[in-house]
Amino acid sequence: MASTGADDLYDYIWKVVLVGDSGVGKTNLLSRFTKNEFNSESKSTIGVEFATRHVTIKGKTIRAQIWDTAGQERYRAITAVYYRGAVGALVVYDITKSQTFDNLNKWLQELKDHADSSARIMIVGNKSDLRHLRAVTQEEGRLLAEKHKYSFIETSALDASNVGEAFNNLLVDIFKSQVEDPTVLPPSSQHQSAGHNNGQTSSRVQLPREDASGQQGGQCFC
């Protein structure tokens, strides 16, 4: 794979994980946010996939390293390690499948067990374009989020509704809690250094590693 040879400067690198049952649309949410792409033929994630995007918030450049974790039970032992060091998470369910909503408590417990205790969490009801097939009401999603004091949003990776808002609102929430209140900032999430871009926007990995590369665009919340 060709390298651009360019250096990308950033102030912070933050690990964000996408979790939820297989088939809820996590991979397409990631692709829509980082590459503005949607693949109706996308297959279930094997292990973990990742992509990065740079966002500017109040003059600080954030390198968001977004991990898409496999939803199948047989990959839990592999992917559990990826929660470590995560400072944010989108916990995703399919609004047309009540079982994926019922399973949210399992995913929230995994985050509690493996992610940093200060991680910011957003509950996401995906596939809002299929509202005519809705099995979980928006109010149910909102009430669950309020119960746990998390944020909530409904999205559609297909038509891009609220996808940018979901990721960007989570990143702004992380910024507010960790940069503007640095007493809760985990040392591992703060990097005053240069990153390298080898032109890669995403990758698929089978074994744990903490390095990620590439970016697709950037956004400013100045």
pLDDT tens-digit map of 91-137? 999 999 999 999 999 999 988 888 888 999 999 999 999 999 999 99
pTM score of the predicted model: 0.77
Query: Would you give the distance in Å from CA 203 to the centre of its chain?
Result: 15
Contact present, 46 and 98 (Cβ < 8 Å): no
Burial of 173 (0-12, 13-18, 19+ CB in 10 A): middle
* 42-46, 156-160, 194-198: the lowest-pLDDT one: 194-198
Q: What is the DSSP secondary structure assignment for residue 136, as one 8-state letter? A: S
Contact residues for 106 (Cβ-Cβ < 8 A; gap 6+): none
Span 142-155, pLDDT tens digits: 999 999 999 999 99
CA-wise closest residue to 59 among 161, 180, 140:
180
